Chain A
């Protein structure tokens, strides 16, 4: 099975090398697609210089995570990938868990598998509380049972991309994907993953969480 691993990146020159090194070592028929979402640092050049086999695209301005993922998915489908994996560039998710996620997806014939982060003490308190609240709200409104709806680590079949497709350009993309999984009754599973928080000020903030909550309500009314 051909897998495209999409890594959306914004100002990740410090972390992206480690992430790509690990992904590169995975034993898959894979294409690694990095989407530099208008980084202001040297993310693009760092990837270009160190990884010839990585497909790197660059948005000339920052559009948001959702937009970067969509660009990556379009390229992944052009390359004829059977599976699409999304993973954050900040080294929060361990790339070496990807084989287990793919195994779970193929073994149980699932459409999507989510790498669910453990909401323990290693997760900053605000993130933990926000995550629990948003996950419960999403599950309640869309009939899913996913412990971490905000996780950026997902693997899904390319054939379900149209059903999982999102319009959000920002961090709401993760929730919108879960909402679409619920609405379209896709078969999903989850696998617990370890998480490392390198920079507690990056990623979704408290205010992003508030925006996401109102967008969840708006999504339900669509």
Chain B
């Protein structure tokens, strides 16, 4: 019997797979990116449907419940994403600053 939480997880996984497909169609994702994310979402849906697949694995890591294991994995993933976004924004800010400054100086010298 499928629990409510599993239904939410499956719907979420399907929606994310769909958004990934849309991004690919709009040419915002390359083929490799599309395939990677689709495989990830399919695995997500599969684990949501059959959590017992990873119960042995999560028990070996010291987790009594699979849900606890998935929650921790989720937090780790969010922490990684936050750091990645922070790094990326830092790099982009520096590039923007460089471009804006060069443009300002070049325009001023042209006069």
Contact = CB atoms under 8 A, between A and B. Distances in A.
**Interface SS of chain B: helix, strand, loop or mixed?**
helix
B105 A63 contact: no
Interface residues of A, number: 15
Q: How large is the interface on B (under 10, 10 to 19, 20 to 34, 35 or more residues)?
A: 10 to 19
A75 B104 CA distance: 10
A74 B100 contact: no
B97 A74 contact: no
A198 interface: no
A45 to B, nearest CB: 14
A4 to B, nearest CB: 13
Nearest to A33: B108
Nearest to A35: B104
Interface string A43-63: 000000000000111111101
A67 B108 CA distance: 16
B27 interface: no
Interface in B69-111: 93, 96-97, 100-101, 103-105, 107-108
B108 A55 contact: yes
Contact of B101 (A55, A56, A70): A70
Nearest to A169: B97
Contacts of B105: 57, 71, 74-75
B55 to A, nearest CB: 44
B67 to A, nearest CB: 37
A58 B96 contact: no
B97 A56 contact: no
A71 B104 contact: yes
Contacts of B100: 59-61, 63, 67
B107 A67 contact: no
List the 6 closest pairs (A to B, CB-CB), nearest first. A57-B104, A57-B108, A71-B101, A59-B100, A59-B104, A60-B100
Interface of A: 35, 55-61, 63, 67, 70-71, 74-75, 169
